[in-house]
Amino acid sequence: MEDTIKLDQFLKFQGVVQTGGQAKMLIQAGEVKVNGTIETRRGRKLVKGDRVTTLGETIEV
Q: 10-58 pLDDT, tens per residue?
A: 999 999 999 999 999 999 999 999 999 999 999 999 999 999 999 999 9
Give the sheet arrangement for strand 32-34, strand by strand.
37-38, 32-34, 51-54, 57-60
Does the structural domain 4-60 have CATH classification 3.10.290.10?
yes
pTM for the model stands at 0.91
Please give the pLDDT value at position 37.
98
- What confidence score (pLDDT) does residue 32 get? 98
For the chain, give every domain's residue range. 4-60
pLDDT for residue 23? 96
Q: What are phi and psi of 13, to 5 degrees?
A: -60, -40
> Residue 1 contacts by C-beta under 8 Å, 6 or more apart in sequence?
none
